[in-house]
Amino acid sequence: MSTAPIWKQALAALEIELDPVIVSTWFRNTSLYETSEDKVIIACTDAYSKSIIQKRYKDQIESVLKKIINPSIRVDFILRPTKLNTMPLSGPLFDEIPSTEPTLNNTETPNSTPAAPFQTYRNKPQLNVSYTLDNFVVGVNNRVVHAAATAVIENPGHIYNPLLIYGNTGVGKTHLLHAIGNELIKRHPHFSITYAPSETFVNDLISYIRNKRPMQELRDRYRKSDVLLVDDIQFLAGKDASLEEFYHTFNEIYQLQSQIVLVSDRDPNEIKDIPDRLISRFQGGLMVMISPPDFETRIAIAKQKSQELGLSLSEPILQFIAEQATANVREIHGLVHQVQSYQNYQPQPINVAMLKSLLGAHEENTKPKRKITPDLILELVTKQFDTSIKDLCGKRRKREIVIPRQITMFLLRNELGLNLEEIGDMLGGRDHTTIIHGCDRIKQLTEGSEQPAVASHISSIRRELYS
Residues 6+ apart with CB under 8 A from 312: 306
Give the pLDDT confidence score for residue 99 in this predicted structure.
39
Residues above pLDDT 70, as percent of the chain? 83
Residues 6+ apart with CB under 8 A from 263: 164, 165, 166, 173, 174, 177, 230, 231, 232, 233
**Out of 97-106, 360-369, 398-407, 421-430, least confident range:** 97-106
Residues 6+ apart with CB under 8 A from 32: 3, 4, 6, 7, 10, 40, 41, 42, 43
Q: Is 173 annotated as a binding residue?
A: yes
CATH for 4-79 is 3.30.300.180
Which CATH architecture is the domain 374-465 placed in? Orthogonal Bundle (1.10)
Q: Are 21 and 256 in contact (CB under 8 A)?
A: no
Q: Quote helix, strand, coil % in the chain, to nearest 5.
A: 50, 10, 40
Options 3.40.50.300, 3.30.70.1450, 3.20.170.30, 3.30.460.10; CATH for 143-289 is 3.40.50.300
Q: Is 429 annotated as a binding residue?
A: no
User: Chain-centre distance of CA 226, in angstroms?
Assistant: 25
Nearest-10 Cα torsion for 37, 39, 44, 46: -160
Q: Which fold has domain 295-360?
A: Helicase, Ruva Protein; domain 3 (1.10.8)
* pLDDT single digits (tens) 208-257: 888 888 888 889 889 989 999 999 998 898 888 889 999 999 999 999 99
DSSP 385-414: HT--HHHHHS----HHHHHHHHHHHHHHHH
pTM, two decimal places: 0.53
Mean pLDDT value across the chain: 80
Side by side, the strands of the sheet bearing 39-44 are 31-35, 39-44, 74-79
Q: Is 39 annotated as a binding residue?
A: no
247 or 361, greater pLDDT: 247
Q: Is the pLDDT of residue 94 over 90?
A: no
Give the pLDDT confidence score for residue 360 in this predicted structure.
62
Half-sphere exposure in the Cβ direction for 365 (13 Å, CA): 15
What residue ranges do the domains of the chain occupy? 4-79, 143-289, 295-360, 374-465
Q: Is the pLDDT of residue 383 over 70?
A: yes
Q: Is the pLDDT of residue 197 over 50?
A: yes
Q: Is the pLDDT of residue 163 over 90?
A: yes
* pLDDT single digits (tens) 412-431: 887 777 788 889 888 988 98
Residues 6+ apart with CB under 8 A from 52: 26
Give the pLDDT confidence score for residue 110 in this predicted structure.
38
Q: Are 91 and 80 in contact (CB under 8 A)?
A: no
Band of residue 382 on the pLDDT scale cut at 50, 70, 90: very high
Q: How far is 41 from 35, CA to CA, in rounded Å?
A: 6
Q: Which of 292-306, 334-348, 368-382 has the highest mean pLDDT?
A: 292-306
